[in-house]
């Protein structure tokens, strides 16, 4: 057992399964990375919409942006976006 596991067991008690702790930490980090990536894509699409002068390109970018927002709303990302006032 490594040093980190020993400290966690001492702090949290021996009844806690470390695999559950690792799984929740990995899920949390993955969720944050996905939401940050989606926010970067949304801001990039916003700049493309401003720079676009072609109507067809504007419509395609609007549709892509809507799909990205729907993807964010399907998970916990909507809570983070509301908290950061991105919507």
pLDDT at position 87: 44
How many angstroms separate the CA atoms of 76 and 32, rounded? 9
**The pLDDT value given to residue 2:** 56
Looking at residue 84, its pLDDT comes to 55
Q: For the chain, which residues make up each domain, given as ranges?
A: 27-83
pLDDT band at 63 (very low <50, low <70, confident <90, very high): confident
Closest CA to 76 of 41, 19, 38, 46: 38
């Amino acid at each position: 057992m490594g040093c980190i596991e020993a400290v966690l067991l001492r702090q949290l008690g021996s009844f806690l399964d470390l695999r559950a702790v690792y799984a929740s930490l990995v899920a949390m980090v993955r969720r944050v990375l996905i939401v940050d990536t989606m926010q970067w894509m949304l801001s990039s699409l916003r700049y493309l919409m401003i720079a676009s002068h072609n109507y067809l390109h504007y419509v395609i970018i609007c549709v892509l942006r809507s799909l990205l927002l729907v993807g964010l709303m399907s998970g916990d990302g909507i809570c983070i976006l509301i908290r950061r006032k991105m919507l």
